[in-house]
Structure 1
């Protein structure tokens, strides 16, 4: 299950960054991928839709809140946590 979450999150970020999923590594930041604030918001919406979850994210201040966007891996872990919480 978590590998499919990882793959889907990477695919969403890759689409937003106009990259191939294979070009994305877990330690990269959104800035490294060339994803700006609008791209981040669009990525969050896509993640919410793909996993049927609500991401605790403040578009006005992305660094505030419980959803860690510091790296691709952090986003994957945050989505895994939200999906697990919803399933419980």
Structure 2
């Protein structure tokens, strides 16, 4: 399973939707994920890919991580994985 599919699966689980209901253009708000759900999704993503996401739940706008859409989240995760690779 690729990064995009896994991230969508995790986000869909948080939103209580089917992965097919999530598009790359979906925003957390548009699929009903609140800040707590987003934090839980980020934790799940960190565990799944063994990475640390620079996301501050208390001040998301100050985080060095773009959560504006599923596409930006996937791109950020892929970047973190690439940076971690030896």
TM-score range (shorter-chain normalised) is: over 0.9
Q: For the Cα contact (< 8 Å) 1:29–1:72, is it kept in 2?
A: yes
CA root-mean-square deviation = 0.9
Query: Structure 1 residue runs of 4+, over 2 Å off?
Result: none
Where in structure 2 are there 5+ consecutive unaligned residues? none
Q: For the Cα contact (< 8 Å) 1:63–1:69, is it kept in 2?
A: no
TM normalised by structure 1 equals 0.94
Where in structure 1 are there 5+ consecutive unaligned residues? none
Matches of 2:13 and 2:63, distance apart in 1 = 25
In the TM superposition, what is the alpha-carbon distance from 1:6 to its structure 2 partner? 0.1
Matches of 1:27 and 1:69, distance apart in 2 = 11
Higher helix share: 1
Aligned residues: 86
TM normalised by structure 2 equals 0.96
Q: Deviations over 1:3-23 (max 9, x none)?
A: 700000000000000000011
